[in-house]
Amino acid sequence: MWNLDQAFAQAQRVQRRARPSTRRTTSGAARHGEQRILAQQYRVAVSSGGPLPSFRESEFRNYSQNGEDGILLLLATVLDLRQRRIVEIGSADGIECNSANLILHHGWDALLIDGGATAIERGSRFYAAQPETFRVGPTLVHAWVTKDNVKTLLAEHGYDRDVDVLSIDLDGVDLWVLQAIEPTANVLIVEFNNRLPAEVAVSVPYQEEFYATGDRARGE
């Protein structure tokens, strides 16, 4: 069975020999060198037929809301995702999201779309200030995504094909937008309401102006 703490400890030992200041932070984040070593451990496990960690065991958080950064590193490595392109619909500012770790630590290209103009402006300033992305960074787009315009938005920015990861977080109409895209991405991330039993298949009725605030959803 995998033990992520042991894997990080091994990564830290290697990193200390190269750069003594590099370590895993108390928040559970994984720095660049540690992630590279983890990915190599995953590749060795795949090639040798050895065990791989579960999603729960692979979790860590650099920029994601929860442990998605670690899970995506595992999937990207094990599935050998080579396009290194991610689309995130409902990215907020693109800083706390599913894409940022792949962008900043693994050189992925990204299209980040959100309906909040202020959030997109904040994300643009953030990536312009990072050494990894100040020259060529992710594409951040301010747009209200609907089932009718989503395919056009993807095509306009060159992300209607050859996408490894598609992440949708719209707090309500995710299903309808997903169906409109007809995705071919290798990895699909869609938010769901965990207060509903897993065997219940329901969605809010589609409304173009739907948005959720707290525990309440509104639409025009």
Average pLDDT value over all residues in the chain:
86
122-133 pLDDT, tens per residue?
999 999 999 999
Boundary residue ending a domain (19, 45, 80): 80
Q: In this structure, are residues 140 and 112 in contact, taking their beta carbons and an 8 Å threshold?
A: yes
46 and 146 housed in the same domain: no
Q: Is residue 219 part of a domain?
A: no
Shared-domain flag, residues 95 and 164: yes
Is residue 53 located within the same domain as residue 120? no
Are the CB atoms for 62 and 30 separated by under 8 Å?
A: yes
Boundaries of domain holding 33: 1-80
pLDDT at 160 over 50: yes
CATH code of the domain covering residue 89: 3.40.50.150
Higher pLDDT, 7 or 20: 7
Strands 211-213 and 187-190: unpaired
pLDDT 10s digits, 52-107: 999 999 999 999 999 999 999 999 999 999 999 999 999 999 999 999 999 999 99
Residue 213 domain-assigned (yes or no): no
Residue 167 CB partners (closer than 8 Å, separation 6+): 86, 87, 88, 89, 90, 91, 97, 98, 99, 189, 190
Model confidence at 210, in pLDDT bands (50, 70, 90)? confident
- Rg (C-alpha) for the chain, rounded Å, is 18
Residues 118 and 183 in one domain: yes
Q: Which residues contact 214 (CB under 8 A, 6 or more apart)?
A: none
SS in 3 state form for 6-46?
Answer: HHHHHHHHHHHHHCCCCCCCCCCCCCHHHHHHHHHHHHHHH
Q: What angle do CA 22, 23, 25 make, to 5 degrees?
A: 130
Asked whether residue 212 is assigned to any structural domain, the reply reads no
Which is it for strands 216-218 and 211-213: parallel, antiparallel or unpaired? antiparallel
In a domain, 74, yes or no: yes
Smallest Cα–Cα separation from 3: which of 33, 41, 31? 41
Q: In whole angstroms, give the CA distance from residue 140 to residue 159.
A: 12
Residues 178-186: contacts with CB within 8 Å, 24+ apart? 179/147, 180/147, 180/148, 180/150, 180/151, 181/150, 181/151, 181/154, 185/87, 186/79, 186/81
Boundary (domain end) residue, out of 64, 80, 96: 80
